[in-house]
Structures are given as C-alpha cells and as structure tokens.
Amino acid sequence: MIVHAAGVWKTFGRVHALQDLNLAVPEGSAFALIGANGAGKTTTIKALMNITQPTRGTLTVLGADSRRLSPRELSDIGYVSENQEMPSRMSVGAFIQYLRPFYPRWDRALETTLLRRLALPTDRKIKDLSHGMRMKLSLACALPFRPRLLVLDEPLGALDPLVRDDFLEGLQSQVGETTMLISSHELTEIESLTTHLAYIDRGAVVFQETLPDLQNRVRSVRVTLMTGDVVSFVDTNFSEDGLTARLEAQFGRVSHIETSRAPLRSMFTTMARAMRTDGASQ
C-alpha cells in the first residue's frame, strides 16, 4: 500500500480529530476521502504529509514513517491544497524554474503541456493570479516531476466551471500513472476519476472499498405500487434476493421495481444523513 494508517489518533486538547483511523491506499488508485465537514479528512492528509503529527498510531507513506519523510520520499509526492502558500512576488515562470532542480525526474515537455493546457501566464506574478489560477499553478507544479503519489486537499473549492474543467483535464492525464488521494466535496466532478474511496466520520474510517463494489452495494430503487404511488430511495445494502417480498412487507403490493447505480453524491448524502441520525441518537 502506498499509504497505510493503523490505529491513528490525533488529539487537539480534548478534541479527538482522528480516532483509531485505519486506511489503506493501493498504488495506482484514484482514492477519494469523503465525509462531512469536520469529519477528519484534512487532518488525515496533514498527518500523512507531516504538516501535523499523529498523537499515536502508525502512518506510512511510500513505505516510510510519515513523521520522517526524507527528500527521497518527498520528491515522489505531489501536494495540492486549497490553502497552499506560494511566493507571491515571484512570477509563474520564475517559480517553476526555481522548483525544477529539486526534482531529478522533472519533465520539461510535460511542464510545457500543462502550462498550455491550463492557460497559465508565465510572466504574471503569483500575487496577481486569481484563486482559480493559483490552484492551476499548484497542479502545474505538482505534476511535471511525475510523482508516485499526488495528494489533493479540496482542490476544486471556489473554482468556476471552466477552471474546474481545466484542472480535471490535467488530473485525467495522470490517471493510472500516479496514485491520487483526493479529499473533495465536489463528488460529481471527481466520480469519473475515482477507483476507490473511504468514508470518514468523526475521525474514523467507517468503510473503504472500490467504487464498483460500492456502486453494486448502494443502489437507487424506484418502486411503483399497485395503488399507483411511487416510492424512491437509496438502499445502502442492496440485494436482489427476496427484494420484492421485502418491499411488499414494507410498502404493500408492488407493481414494478427499477434499480440503478446511485451517483456518488447521492451515496454520500444518504450515508451522511444516516451518520447524523446515528450520532444524534447516541
């Protein structure tokens, strides 16, 4: 596993931001961390990037302890964050030129392709870039050295649709070559990239699985009753076995049943509401 967490806790005073978190990210995957605000997604990413350190537990990245990442591991990790800081007085071109020597595998051809695809003005100072342009610059700086692991923390927040398309096009070009760990609320946009995901709630991973497995388990169900009424819902533990009997026991005589894969956004909202209800009842 390119990222592995076992029994990770992170405590701030009396607050447990992470609680016995376990996570395994396979190499080559596009792994999405999903969960409500405050669930622990950003804390998880900061811990694996050694921006903050776990209170206890084991967290490894590229086989190394996250608290002791060496220049060798760091040269294999790209990082893009909505709140990333960059030297504001440097121009786009000067900043990229500054970064190149730190990465022996820096690909100048890929750099040129990304700058063109993302429409980044190399002569403009970073302080004069819009938020969206700064996010695109972060991606243009994280991809040319072809990292084994690309970590993205809320990369699409506050981006307009055109900038999002440009940004996602840049990511699509690396699918299969670079392992991606993505924390994002923009589930519709990242669904086409995602191969695996983990759902985090109150600092712990509730489940993690491949997207195809989740799509088979979580289904949109539309039931037409003999009365003509229609009932629609998302079933988080779908099974064909005994489906009609179970539905009739709950709703009455059934005329027709339709099932389909639920979009990732619908899966998330269904699970988030269920977690909220479970939390309120405790």
Q: pLDDT value at position 277? A: 62
Q: pLDDT value at position 282? A: 44
* pLDDT tens-digit readout, 266-275: 788 877 777 6
Give Cβ neighbours of residue 2 (< 8 Å, ≥ 6 apart): 25, 26, 27, 61, 62, 148, 149, 179
Unique residue bearing structure tokens 């809320």: 154
Instruction: State the pLDDT confidence band at 96, using cuts at 50, 70 and 90.
Output: very high
Q: Which of 270, 256, 276 is nearest to 214 (CA)?
A: 270
Instruction: State the pLDDT confidence band at 279, using cuts at 50, 70 and 90.
Output: low
Q: pLDDT value at position 278? A: 61
Q: How far apart are CA 108 and CA 179, in angstroms?
A: 21
Burial class (CB in 10 A: 0-12, 13-18, 19+), 217: middle
What would the mean pLDDT of 71-88 be, rounded to a whole number? 87
Instruction: State the pLDDT confidence band at 158, using cuts at 50, 70 and 90.
Output: low
Which neighbouring-strand residues pair with 198? 33, 208
* pLDDT tens-digit readout, 244-271: 999 999 899 999 999 988 888 878 887 7
For each of the domains in the chain, give its residue range(s) and CATH number, in order of start. Answer: 3-209 (3.40.50.300), 214-281 (no CATH)
Q: Provide the 3-class DSSP secondary structure of residue 247.
A: helix
